[in-house]
Amino acid sequence: MKATFITLLSVILALCVFVSCAERLDSGYAIRKVYTPARVIYQPVYNGKTIMLIPLSHPETRKIVFGKDGRKRCVGVKKEMFDKAEIGDSVYVHNNEIKIFRRICNEETF
């Protein structure tokens, strides 16, 4: 009984691992553009006697969210590409190279 339960549990765990290892989305249409400005966050740290505030700086980030067939992916881009990209453009990612095409005329914009 115990061996059957362990075997069944192993099969279920293996199926969960294989399902989660789906192929990564490498093309789709731009859904959203996300800009996060640079900021400093003060993290409280307790050293046993007092609480110190340690500043943590986060740089500004620009990301484009694209999706296809109900799946989504977010990629970080440079300022020039972020400014030129529009919602609905085709996005292709291959070997860390990002290409964006206008949906209307199918021309590469960058």
Q: Is residue 15 part of a domain?
A: no
Q: Is residue 10 part of a domain?
A: no
Show the domain range for 55.
24-101
**Does position 18 have pLDDT exceeding 70, yes or no?**
no
Residues 36-53 have pLDDT tens digits of 999 999 999 998 899 999
Average pLDDT over the chain, rounded to an integer? 82
Q: Is residue 53 part of a domain?
A: yes
Query: Residue 109: what pLDDT?
Result: 52
**Does position 108 have pLDDT exceeding 60, yes or no?**
no
Q: Are 29 and 68 in contact (CB under 8 A)?
A: yes
Q: Is residue 12 part of a domain?
A: no
Structural domain tally of the chain? 1
Q: What tokens appear for 11 in the block?
A: 């099969």
Q: Is residue 6 part of a domain?
A: no
Q: Is residue 3 part of a domain?
A: no
DSSP 28-93: EEEEEEEEE--EEEEEEEE-SS-EEEEEEEE--EEEEEEEETTEEEEEE--HHHHHH--TT-EEEE
